Structure 1
Amino acid sequence: MSVMTGRVPRAFLLPAVLGLGALSLASASAEPAPAPTPAQQVETGQVTAAAGLPFGFYVGDEQQATTSHVAKLGSDITFPQGRFDGSLLGLSGKVPITGKLVIPPTSSYFVSFRFMPATGTVELIPDGDATGTVEVKTGATTNCKAVGTNLCGDSDVTNKVFIKLSNVKVDGKALDVGPNCRTAQSVVVNIKALMPLGFPAPSVRATSTFSTPGFTGCGVREDLSPLLTGLVSGPGNTLVTNLKLRCVGSGPPPNGCGA
């Protein structure tokens, strides 16, 4: 039996070197690459039109809550902060958009007949999903300069909501409108705004003018629908709010819309 001291046979050396090289390559490939931003995903085509690009906005912020001006009453109704969660169904040019608008109910105060105080709960009930188009733009110093992000969308979105009234009191006395008092048709609220789709993002002001249809289903002992229609319904109402970007892309929170 021979004894080898200070020397490694070549037959054992070459496999060892190859094994260490393979191990180093495996370790290097196991390190995760930085996740692409939504803007990079759009530019490189990594987001498919079928999957879409998810995004979410807060509707209303500390600078501008969602406020509706009722023209006939000359009064404003302010709503708590809501949310809009949607998806861009395309990557370039004008693409379809779909989404859901949720705004919590609010208690309102106004003066009817110019002298009689009235209160009530106002609820906006969605009539299907919001739909419209968004023209996707990229470039913080070019197309998206106004919002200062690398990805933005010039939006034209239509939301349809029924206005529901409850807990109505006139001059401190309950007006029993029942559980089904709402507009006969949905209110069409069209919102156009250049929306930032990347962080950091400023809040964006959005305004809309709409008509309020007549009311139906109001009253338990008597039909109060004509009364409420005369008080509230008509053209020239406005809605103003700030849209604040909450998330974009399918990545994890806080800035991704994933679970």
Structure 2
Amino acid sequence: MAAKFELTALSRIAKLGSDTAITGTLIACAYIGAGGLEQPLDVVAAVDLEPTVDAYFVIFRFVPATSTVGFAQEGVGRGTARLVNFNPNDVDTDVVLNLFIQLSNAKQDGIDLRVGDRCRTEVSAAIRFKGIIHPVAGSVSNLNSTFEIPRFSGCGQAEDLDPLFTGLITGPDNDIRTTLRSLGPP
């Protein structure tokens, strides 16, 4: 069983108190194991997310900043799914996607910070998709979760900006509200 979804999300960066819009697609495949539908299905998932250009943040509550925020998936997402009351239109899903968060074109008050092209989290952030998903084409599913943003590495051409981005962004309790609109089988 496989489904493709149009993904839109709004992520609230806790330390900055700012929102970032995310768009892209998600493809998920569920596999029936030896236990049949009585057991949880194994799920693999992949995302293709568009970079968020000119994401707007306010640092220290008064300094405007913009950046392009990109995402690179590490491996495939893995998890489980179970049909709710054996209904294939309602699937209770628990999948974790590991995403590196990348920063580029960062500007503080219009001044280019020259972050370079290798600025990203040291390790991937684990984003959990847990809840009821409706895979029938045209159906909409809403999922909410929190995640931790790891430390940043590789930031800065003229000077090391890793401590700056780590101090401003890294931390727990970042919210993500995701809407998945099913496009049917991939």
Asked if TM exceeds 0.5, the reply is yes
Identify the match of residue 100 of structure 1 among 42, 46, 61. Answer: 46
**Contact 2:45 / 2:97 at 8 angstroms: preserved in 1?**
no
How far apart in 1 are the matches of 2:119 and 2:6? 28
- Secondary structure of 1:231's partner? helix
Query: Residue type matched to 1:158 in 2?
Result: V
Sequence identity of aligned pairs in percent? 36
Query: Residue type matched to 2:146 in 1?
Result: T
Residue correspondences, number = 181
Residue 136 of structure 1 deviates from its aligned partner by 2.4
Residue 55 of structure 1 deviates from its aligned partner by 1.3
How far apart in 2 are the matches of 1:226 and 1:130? 29
| RMSD after superposition | 1.5
Q: Which structure has the bigger radius of gyration?
A: 1
> Does structure 1 residue 82 correspond to structure 2 residue 28?
no
Q: State the TM-score, normalizing by the size of structure 1.
A: 0.67
- In the other structure, the counterpart of 2:120 is 182
How far apart in 2 are the matches of 1:197 and 1:230? 39
Greater per-residue helix proportion: 1
Identify the match of residue 244 of structure 1 among 177, 181, 184. Answer: 181
Matches within 5 A, 1:180-259: 180-199=118-137, 201-248=138-185, 257=186
Residue 198 of structure 1 deviates from its aligned partner by 2.8
Residue 160 of structure 1 deviates from its aligned partner by 0.4
Residue 57 of structure 1 deviates from its aligned partner by 1.1
Residue 114 of structure 1 deviates from its aligned partner by 1.7
* Structure 1, unpaired ranges of 5+: 1-52, 61-65, 145-149, 249-256
Residue 202 of structure 1 deviates from its aligned partner by 3.1
How far apart in 2 are the matches of 1:175 and 1:116? 14
Matches within 5 A, 1:19-30: none
How far apart in 2 are the matches of 1:228 and 1:137? 42
> Does structure 1 residue 161 correspond to structure 2 residue 161?
no
How far apart in 2 are the matches of 1:135 and 1:183? 32
Out of 166-175 and 89-98, give the one that drifted further. Answer: 89-98
Matches within 5 A, 1:6-17: none
Query: Residue type matched to 2:24 in 1?
Result: G
* Structure 2, unpaired ranges of 5+: none
Cα distance per residue 1:67-104 (max 9 Å; x no partner): 1100100100112x311112111151301001211110
> Does structure 1 residue 134 correspond to structure 2 residue 81?
yes
**Contact 2:153 / 2:162 at 8 angstroms: preserved in 1?**
yes
Cα distance per residue 1:22-79 (max 9 Å; x no partner): xxxxxxxxxxxxxxxxxxxxxxxxxxxxxxx22111112xxxxx11100100100112
Greater per-residue strand proportion: 2
Shift >2 Å, 4+ stretches: none
